[in-house]
Amino acid sequence: MTGPVWNRDALARSPWFGSVRRVLERLPADRFPDSHDLNALARERDVRSGGGAPLVFVPPAAGPGTTARHYEERIFGTGEVATRPGSWHDLFNALAWLAFPRTKAVLNRLHHDELARLGEGPVRGTARDVATLFDEGGIVVACAVPELAQLLAGFEWQHLFWERRVDVARSMHFLVFGHAILERALAPFKSVTAKALVFDVTRESLDDATLVDRLDARAAVHFTHPDSVASTRALQPLPVLGIPGWTPENEDPAYYADAAVFRPGRARAQKEQAP
């Protein structure tokens, strides 16, 4: 069974890859990127680990010592990110490092510090749970209209994505951070759900070429605060294929009637179930 074929330009056109588009466009068009391509971009951007080491994408270590602890500590101490040749998952992790270097470094430091404090298991700890959820499944939402952010926080999917879809397109940008979500774009399905971190922005800044860099800086600061990693509920679930323009199927209002995907949220569900 063959896997997806590398098509840089098709990926760059997809809204799923808007957050990493600038990086994608610097990669080869005619072949799957290798570590040399990624390392050149990492040097150019002076990307560094949570411990301050220059980042370099290298083959995974063989044999013992390949646990989560070793993976994070290796990045923290040496800057070496284990990256399997030909792996889409690892490529997208590299793209996240290149597009969001500050936030990735803060998450790496968080993992390192929590591992030093708690060890590797059996309990990972809430802080590392939050960091992992965002690292794998995060999406950064830039919102210029507070009311729209409130609708998202209230799980008002029909209202937000259908009734206000013109406003959403004009006043919200959705920038995928999590490399597992980027990988889902290769074979998307309706229930793909990201964990959203929402930032208020000005309308003018949404069209600024530096938007990703500025949101990276804000997300990095966000994850330095203990409250940000105190509960996994701090991250808002967001069904990504509900975002206007991300699939032709959501151009029909009936698309949002699927309560198994567009869930009402705990508070509203309890209110609707009350006698």
3-state secondary structure 144-187: CCHHHHHHHHCCCHHHHHHHCHHHHHHHEEEEECCHHHHHHCCC
193-200/236-239 β-pairing:
antiparallel
Structure tokens at 67: 């646990």
**pLDDT number for residue 120:** 67
Q: How far apart are CA 210 and CA 158, in angstroms?
A: 31
**pLDDT number for residue 122:** 60
Q: pTM for this one?
A: 0.92
Count other C-beta atoms under 10 Å from residue 173's C-beta.
23
Element (H or E) spanning 214, and its range? helix 211-222
Q: How far apart are CA 77 and CA 53, in angstroms?
A: 7
**pLDDT number for residue 60:** 87
Q: Kindly give the interhelix angle for 101-118 and 211-222, rounded to the nearest 10 degrees.
A: 20
What does the domain layout of the chain look like in residue ranges? 8-131, 134-273
Q: Give me the amino acid identity at 86.
A: G
Contacts of 214 (CB under 8 A, 6+ apart): 205, 208
**pLDDT number for residue 2:** 66
- Render each residue's pLDDT in the chain as its tens digit; 275 residues: 467 999 999 999 999 999 999 999 999 999 999 999 999 999 999 999 999 999 999 998 755 455 566 889 999 999 999 999 999 999 999 999 999 999 999 999 999 999 888 876 666 789 999 999 999 999 999 999 999 999 999 999 999 999 999 999 999 999 999 999 999 999 999 999 999 999 999 999 999 999 999 999 999 999 999 999 999 998 999 999 999 999 999 999 999 999 999 999 754 544 444 44
Q: How far apart are CA 94 and CA 180, in angstroms?
A: 12
End-to-end distance of the chain based on CA atoms, in angstroms? 52
Q: How far apart are CA 98 and CA 45, in angstroms?
A: 8
- For 135, phi then psi, to 5°, come to -60, -40
Beta strands in the chain (DSSP E): 56-58, 80-82, 138-143, 172-176, 193-200, 236-239
**pLDDT number for residue 70:** 84
**Which of 267, 197, 255 lies closest to 225 in space, CA to CA?**
197
**pLDDT number for residue 267:** 47
